[in-house]
Amino acid sequence: MSRPAHPTSRRRFPAFVLLSLALPLAALPALAGDLKLEAKLIQGANAPPATAHHNLVSPELAATLHRNNFKWTNYYEITNLTTLIPLNQTRDLRMSERCTLKIKNLGSSVVALDYIGQGKQVSKGTNSLPCVYCGTNTDDTAWFIYLRSLDDKK
């Protein structure tokens, strides 16, 4: 005759199955609207950088800037920051002593941006990612903010 299964083994199996299914599903809503954002402060110039520790941006990013009709020969990465922004929340990114970004994740790779320069609002807008904001420019240099989602395959 076969012996009946131990009563506790029947309870553990369904609980284990339910737990193994529930944990991955519970994490999905928290991740669905999160935005992994990369923000770069870039200097455009025709001359070499003022300091030796600024590197040229990638050739792909330089091509993107040229396609947007920016005229500089060289583009140097000054700051590169990444952050995770939950849906409908805002993060402050200090790009330099003079530049702070307040970025709100509006969902679907759309952000609201407040660009603060020297403590004053310079620009405010909403854009789809990736995007480029042009800051102060002179005959010699220009400043750019490049934003992109790290979830993008580009």
Measure the CA–CA gap between 114 and 24, rounded to whole angstroms. Answer: 35
Rounded distance, CA 45 to CA 137, Å? 10
Q: Is 81 exposed, middle or buried (0-12, 13-18, 19+ CB in 10 A)?
A: middle
SS3 49: coil
Residues 6+ away with beta carbon under 8 Å from 108: none
Do 81 and 93 meet the contact criterion of CB atoms below 8 Å apart? Answer: yes
**Could you count the other beta carbons within 10 Å of the beta carbon of residue 2?**
4
In whole angstroms, what is the distance from residue 147 CA to residue 114 CA?
A: 13
Model pLDDT for residues 114-128, shown as the tens digit of each residue: 999 889 998 899 999
Q: How confident is the model at residue 129 (pLDDT cuts 50, 70, 90)?
A: very high
Burial of 113 (0-12, 13-18, 19+ CB in 10 A): buried
- Res 76: pLDDT: 93
Average pLDDT over residues 6-22: 45
At 139-150, the pLDDT tens digits run 788 889 999 999
Q: Tell me, what's the pLDDT at 48?
A: 75
